[in-house]
Structure 1
Amino acid sequence: MAIFFYFRFHFYNMYDIIGDVHGQASILKKLLLEIGYQKSGTGYVHPERKAVFVGDFINRGPEIKKTIRIIRSMVENGNALAVLGNHEINAIIYYLKFKTGDPLVKSSNKNFFALFKTISQFSGNADEFLDHLKWMRTLPLYLDMGDFRVVHACWSQPAIDFVKENIPAGKIKKSVFREIYRNSKSGIGKHIWTLSKGVDFTLPGDLKIISNKGVSPRTFRMRWWEKPQGKTFEEMSFESKFSLPDYTIPQQIIPENYVYPEDAPIVFFGHYCRGRGPHIVKSNICCVDSCVNGTKKLTAYRWNGEKTLNKENLVQVGR
């Protein structure tokens, strides 16, 4: 059964792709005003442009409630588009229950710790947050606009094709999220996490590194758009928290990876916390996440129909 997350709009031909907001409503409002959006009775609106949010608008920041309200209002009134990020997916999963009424998630792990800040900010407004979760289930996992694409973490064509064939159109059913939680490494779970979290490279057991938090991670986020053959660990890393050794990755431990073609449409994504940049990493690859809770800066790319990314179209505002 096909799912149609392919969008082509004829009225709008200019878009502003906005990075992970993570509860920083004040910075988001400042950015929107900076790039010409005006506050109206239906939220922030631009006479000629439409905003596109790459996901991860909840958790971490001090104004999560306001952030959701701004983005949801823009989407519902036709002034913006948005895709699901891994933080929204985790929130949906966290509130799921079995038919018996028992919670699906019985013990929290690191994927849900960030959610507690969101829950705290909705204290006394639990019904509102549950309504937001229903709305989140109406958001797509990716957008294919023809001339450009948007996904939260990784444009994997096999994952895109799987989603098209296996998830019905419209609001995503709760059963899909239950399956994501139960089977994260196969089927629907594997493909949706690829789109929303990217490709994690598991380090060999004899390779030990230390992150900026003093811990020794066992995986790193890789440059999913490149061929890993013949590359070093550092060359394939798209991490912001630690560096990796400059020696070639052994062929036998290279993970499954989707290489993004150089002649494919521009793809925009977030997720990778590029506080120091660069945001444009190839002529058709752009990460608009600028670690808003660390740098206090939010990044947008103003797409005007170009086939090749232009660094002059990047806009960044801070607190």
Structure 2
Amino acid sequence: MTGYDVVGDVHGHADRLEALLRSLGYRKRDGAYRHRGRRAVFVGDLIDRHPQQRRTVDVVRRMIDAGSAQMVLGNHEFNAVAFGLAREDGTYGRPHTDKNLRQHRAFLDEVGFGTALHCELMAWFCETPMWLELDGLRVVHACWSSRHIELLAGALDEDHTLSPSTIEAATTQGTDLHEAVEIVLKGPELDLDGIWYRDQGGHRRTAARLRWWDSSANTLQRAALIPPGTVLHDGRRGDVPVVELPDRALAATVSPYSGPVPVLFGHYWWQRGTAEPVNPMATCLDFSVAAGGDLAAYRFDGEPHLDPANLVWG
């Protein structure tokens, strides 16, 4: 079987990406990085954050065209498509708010809005599948939820890519397709029962991401993914700081992942040294390169259980 090197969120760090590819044994030939016996797989989120946007996309796109890589759609690529989707009423699939503009600024500064290159890249993102099922391995950007993937499989094109009609529905709140895309590309969230915190961008959050990969995450305290060092506040008691979340029983909207084959994903801003241990069936590869952390890859060779020894850092 082909060996797969699954690469975490890049977010415009082309220098780091090329260094990681070289350390994995890929060499540039005829304009694209290639490996004699392996293929790279990207978990999405190539864009935004760091100012090497065009180069990052070019490296990956050339590899895909050469047959030396595959990729799944990340929420940042989907957001980019939605940001450019003009509706008949004059609005956009993703509103052009100050917050959304700041998040997308690095990409727009290099590519422009409505340029020929911008339209070309939006079309390319729409040709990118939302998930992959490879030999003994699954790859998705944020969450492998069988229920939502089955719903998407019935609505997307045959290769799990976006069509104009599905983009419209997927960016319309209240539709089943919108909910499914939110879960698969951004991950399920939990209401925090009046507790709130501020995220990396300083925005107040009253919900947290769910540890859908953890079968023991059956209480709010265990299931909510809160960044290390985050200060929690109780909005029901005058915003006083609290040490931890309530340890109440949880009825999750997404069942914990149980296989039958391993899944690799990105999205969750883990930090090397403080991240959760590698789950043998489901492991994150986003180690916060966009926040000064590491770019990571996992070398997969058909093993039935994931092994932390197969992580490679760049």
Answer yes or no: same fold by TM over 0.5: yes
Instruction: Quote how far apart the aligned CAs of 1:29 are.
Output: 0.3
Alignment of 1:1-319 (within 5 A): 12-98=1-87, 103-105=92-94, 107-108=96-97, 110-123=99-112, 126-170=115-159, 171-183=161-173, 185-205=174-194, 207-211=195-199, 216-227=204-215, 230-233=218-221, 235-240=222-227, 242=230, 245-251=244-250, 254-261=251-258, 263-276=259-272, 277-278=274-275, 280-317=277-314
State the Cα distance separating 1:278 from its structure 2 match.
3.1
Describe the superposition over 1:108-165 as per-residue Cα deviations: whole angstroms up to 9, x where unpaired.
2644531122001124993112211101111100001140100000000001111111
Distance 2:308 2:4 in 1: 15
For residues 228 and 305 of structure 1, the distance between their equivalents in structure 2, rounded to whole angstroms, comes to 26
SS of 1:282's equivalent in the other structure is coil
Is contact 1:23-1:64 (8 Å) kept? yes
Contact 2:82 2:92 in 1 (8 A): no
**Conserved in 2, the CA contact under 8 Å of 1:146 and 1:265?**
no
Task: Quote the offset at 1:279 in angstroms.
Answer: 6.1
The residue matched to 1:182 in structure 2 has which SS? coil
After superposition, the C-alpha distances for 1:203-260 in whole angstroms (9 at most, x for unaligned) are: 112x244556665421111101335775242x21233253762531255xx3412221
- C-alpha distance in 2 between matches for 1:125 and 1:256: 38
Structure 1 residues 119 and 292: alpha-carbon distance in aligned structure 2, compared to 1, 3 A threshold: same
Shift of 1:177: 1.6
- Cα 1:230–1:290 change in 2 (3 A) is closer
Contact 1:200–1:221 (8 Å) recurs in 2: yes
Q: Which moved more, 1:148-157 or 1:125-134?
A: 125-134
Comparing 275-284 with 155-164, which one deviates more in the overlay?
275-284
Q: Residue type matched to 1:25 in 2?
A: A
CA 1:121–1:181: 2 relative to 1, 3 Å: same
**Structure 1 letter corresponding to 2:264:** F
Taking the aligned partners of 1:229 and 1:71, their CA distance within structure 2 comes to 35
Task: Decide whether aligned partners of structure 1 residues 177 and 112 sit closer, same or farther in structure 2, where only a CA change above 3 A counts.
Answer: farther
Report % sequence identity: 29
Q: Distance in 2 between matches of 1:303 and 1:182?
A: 37
Cα distance in structure 1, aligned partners of 2:197 and 2:192:
10
Q: Which amino acid aligns with 2:208?
A: F
| CA distance in structure 2 between the aligned counterparts of 1:214 and 1:189, rounded to whole angstroms | 26
* TM-score normalized with structure 1 length: 0.86
- Structure 1 residues 296, 229: closer, same or farther in 2, change over 3 A? closer
Q: Which amino acid aligns with 1:176?
A: T
Cα 1:230/1:119, change in 2 over 3 Å:
closer
Greater strand fraction, Structure 1 or Structure 2: 2
1:149-185: CA deviation from partner (whole Å, max 9, x where unpaired):
00000000001111111222255212212212212x4
Aligned length: 300
1:311–1:127 distance in 2 versus 1, CA, 3 Å: same
**Distance in 1, Cα, partners of 2:114 & 2:163:** 24
Q: CA RMSD in A?
A: 2.4
2:79 & 2:27 partners in 1: Cα distance? 32
Contact map agreement 2:14 2:55 (CA 8 A) in 1: yes
Paired AA for residue 238 in structure 1:
L
